[in-house]
Amino acid sequence: MPVTWTCPHSNAVLCLAVSTEGVVASGAELGELTIWNEEGHPIGNIQLNGGEDVTSIAFSPVCATRLYVSHGENISVLDSRAFKEPVETFIINKEEVNCISVNETDSLLAAADDSGSVKVLDLEKKKVTRSLHRHTNICSAVSFRPHWPHSLVSCGLDMQVLLWNVQKARPLWITNLQHLSQDEEDTDYQQSPGQLFNPPLAHSLSVAASGNTFCCGAEDGKIRVFQVTGTRFEEELFFKGHTQGVSQVHFLKEETQHFLISGGNDGKVCLWDTGKKTTQQKKQKQPKNHHLRKSNSVHAKAGSSGHKISDVAESISAKLSIEHGEKINWVSEASLQGSRSVLVADPTNCITVYQLGEM
């Protein structure tokens, strides 16, 4: 039976994060920010200045009581022990921030915004050291890669997925999901002529603990898993995860890092085992990704015809599928009172806790 935590306010919960010490933070519309203990009791609630929606929260990987929160164009730093006014507020983006990520040593923060930019803030020097600009539409998600300093991935509503070298402020590899989807001949989609599918606008991103595998959730309902090798990445696996847009993907931690949870606009929350793939479900070599030359003149369109990829994901099925009912705003993994759980935020002012049990 799922457990419901009800917020001390009536706004929709948009994002969640869990600290290494089991403190849960939830961000909601109109600047509402709440922290909870493991039992689901609110232990702090504030309304951030400006009253803009809280879109993303990241706990410091180094100091469990420090959290970073994006609201509007602002990014605030808070202390969960003295949960009042922000300790500090940065305004580094020109448009609304959609997603933030902090690197493992808590020295860099990346913020993806509506203009398509990713700003990289040096948290010690307190200034923007890099501005990554390549997305041509809203940048919806960004994540540093564990174990790979100076490396991050981003995705956006321009359907592009980018691997960046942060130091050089330049993309190393770009893949356009629309071009990719033309090669994905899935058998589970009995595509009839003239039938239209939603374009693969990329909504969500998650990097596995190894730092070498990441996945992306898109508007076409598909989840795509990519493998990074050096300065490039290739699609390794794809599957239809949801009947509508995939708003959330989230690789589980360490020992089960090939498990991923997803949430969709179809109101479902699923658990997938991407490690169970057979060679048949693996994609063959992707001919369409292009290494970027200095001239930036290579477009992903080149070479997009004539390639048939015969081995596709046929039978990856959800290990767990929960009919949550409401559109999913956020999913997060948590270990609460010794049991492994998934926290779900939706357009209500409640957080739903499902136990994962033994996997």
Ligand X SMILES: *[C@@H]1O[C@H](CO)[C@@H](O)[C@H](O)[C@H]1NC(C)=O
Distance CA(359)–CA(343), nearest Å, equals 17
For position 104 contacting ligand X by CB under 6 A, the verdict is yes
Cα 97 to Cα 283: distance, rounded to the nearest angstrom: 34
Q: Which of 22, 40, 42, 149 binds ligand X (CB under 6 A)?
A: 149
Distance CA 350, CA 214 (A): 29
Would you count residue 93 as binding ligand X (CB under 6 A)? no
The interface region with ligand X, picked from 17-25, 105-113, 261-269, 341-349 by CB under 6 A, is: 105-113
Q: Is 212 in the site for ligand X (CB under 6 A)?
A: no
Among the listed residues 217, 310, 313, the one whose alpha carbon sits nearest the alpha carbon of residue 266: 217
Distance from C-alpha of 23 to C-alpha of 44, rounded to nearest angstrom = 11
Site for ligand X in 245-284 (CB under 6 A): none
- Using the rule CB under 6 A, give the single segment among 49-57, 240-248, 275-283, 324-332 that binds ligand X: 49-57
Among 89, 137, 210, 348, binds ligand X (CB under 6 A): 89
User: Is 243 near ligand X (CB under 6 A)?
Assistant: no
Q: Is 101 in the site for ligand X (CB under 6 A)?
A: no
- Nearest to ligand X by Cβ — which residue? 72
Residue 224 neighbours by CB under 8 Å, 6+ apart = 177, 180, 215, 216, 218, 235, 237, 238
Cα–Cα distance measured from residue 111 to residue 99, given in angstroms and rounded to the nearest whole number: 6
**Which of 25, 33, 36, 72 touches ligand X (CB under 6 A)?**
72
Shortest Cβ distance from residue 269 to ligand X (Å)?
30
Site membership for ligand X, residue 40 (CB under 6 A) = no
Question: In sequence order, what are the residues at sequence separation of 6 or more whose Cβ sits closer than 8 angstroms to the Cβ of residue 297?
Answer: none
Six-digit token pair at 31?
């600047």
**Contact between 326 and ligand X (CB under 6 A)?**
no
> Of 30, 37, 52, 137, which lies in the binding site for ligand X, with binding defined by CB under 6 A?
52
For residue 60, the minimal CB distance to ligand X (Å) is: 12
Please report, as ranges, the residues that interact with ligand X according to CB under 6 A. 49-50, 52, 71-74, 89, 91, 103-105, 107-108, 149
